[in-house]
Amino acid sequence: MTKLLTLATSVPDAPRESQSFWARIANELAEAIARGVYEPGQRLPSEHVLAEQYGVNRHTIRRSLASMCQKGLVRITQGSGTYVEDFAVDLIIGKRTRHRQNMAQAGLQGRFEVQDAQRTRATAAMAQALQLPARSPVLRLQVLGVGAGQPLHVSDRVFPLPRFERLEAVLRETGSITDAFTAHGVTDYTRKESRITAQLPSPEVAALLRQPVNRPVLFVTSVNVDGAGVPIEFASTWFAGDRVKLTVTHDDR
């Protein structure tokens, strides 16, 4: 697990007496983060609370936080608040890619949270990826991947019906797609392909990942197959670029 913060080089060396109020406040908050007063991912006090604490107006606090944001110490989420920048989790994309296993290797607890579910007809892209006849029935889920309470990725996942009729219910209960597959008799599955690009997120994806819309994400499309090579899942996943490092492996794990 790699911290994104390099606080020793983030605090300016200029003498305090020569600095403006907003710079002094930014320094003090940065030092508090360095001491562990505010943990990675933690929300800072509101602008109003900080303004009262330091005896300045909210404009001054806003400038302090903007300076810290530019240095990568915090992220500002509209309507939510200011958060200490999160850890970067190294996620493995290999022949056998498992979210919970990736989290465990990073020393974290992780799970999937279903945000939306619908039974629909496969689009041309879905049908081609899953090797289904056009407009075949499919289960389409929007899923949030969480680690240590932080959103790491959001995905649009498609599964053929009626084969995975109970998958949504099992996933909601266990938080694990592997467990959901097991409940349907798929004891092992592998990644057939992954395609990775960088792009800007939609407002909906940015909101779920708790990041600005102008911060790029890593976009991965993938297909998983069962032991017989039959496609069982087509996924489009947006990874929070500042919290996730993707490692592609070529071994058999």
Q: What pTM did the predictor assign?
A: 0.68
144 shares its domain with 182:
yes
69 with 100, same domain: the answer is no
User: Any idea which of 78-87, 121-130, 216-225 has the lowest mean pLDDT?
Assistant: 78-87
CA-closest candidate to residue 108, choices 79, 53, 65, 151: 151
Same-domain check for residues 103 and 55: no
Q: Is residue 230 part of a domain?
A: yes
66 and 176 share one domain: no
CB 145 within 8 A of CB 151: yes
Q: Are residues 118 and 232 part of one domain? A: yes
- Would you say residue 78 has pLDDT above 60? yes
| Same domain (yes/no): 41, 99 | no
For residue 114, pLDDT over 80 is answered with yes
Buried b (16+ CB within 10 A) or exposed e, 60-73: bbbbbbebbbebeb
pLDDT exceeds 90 at position 72 = no
Does 45 share its domain with 124? no
Rounded CA gap, 27 and 22, in Å? 9
Q: What is the CATH number of the domain that holds 106?
A: 3.40.1410.10
Which domain, by its residues, includes 119? 89-248
Q: Are residues 121 and 58 in the same domain?
A: no
Do 39 and 112 fall into the same domain?
no
Domain with residue 70: its CATH number is: 1.10.10.10
- Classify residue 171: in a domain, yes or no: yes
Give the separation between CA 104 and CA 204, rounded to whole angstroms.
28
Count of domains forming the chain: 2
pLDDT digits (tens, 9 = 90+) for 191-248: 998 999 999 999 999 999 988 888 899 999 999 999 999 999 999 999 988 778 888 8
Among residues 19, 52, 84, the one where a domain terminates is: 84
Which has more pLDDT, 237 or 75?
Answer: 237
Q: Mean pLDDT for the chain?
A: 86
What's the sign of the alpha-carbon dihedral 134, 140, 142, 147? negative
- More reliable by pLDDT, 51 or 31: 51
Do 139 and 32 belong together in one domain?
Answer: no
Q: 100 and 63: one domain?
A: no
The whole-number pLDDT of residue 242 equals 74
pLDDT band for 16, please (50, 70, 90 cuts): very low
Q: Is residue 162 part of a domain?
A: yes
In a domain, 253, yes or no: no
Q: pLDDT value at position 251? A: 64
Tell me what pLDDT residue 132 has.
Answer: 98
Residues 169 and 70 in one domain: no
Domain boundary among 52, 84, 116: 84
Confidence (pLDDT) at 77 = 86
Q: Is residue 169 part of a domain?
A: yes
Last residue of a domain, one of 84, 100, 127: 84
Phi-psi region of 175 (alpha: psi -120 to 50; beta: other; left: phi over 0): left
Q: Per the domain annotation, does 2 fall within a domain?
A: no
Quick: pLDDT tens for 34-50: 677 888 788 999 999 99
pLDDT over 90 (residue 68)? no
Q: State residue 189's pLDDT score.
A: 96
pLDDT at residue 121 in the model = 98
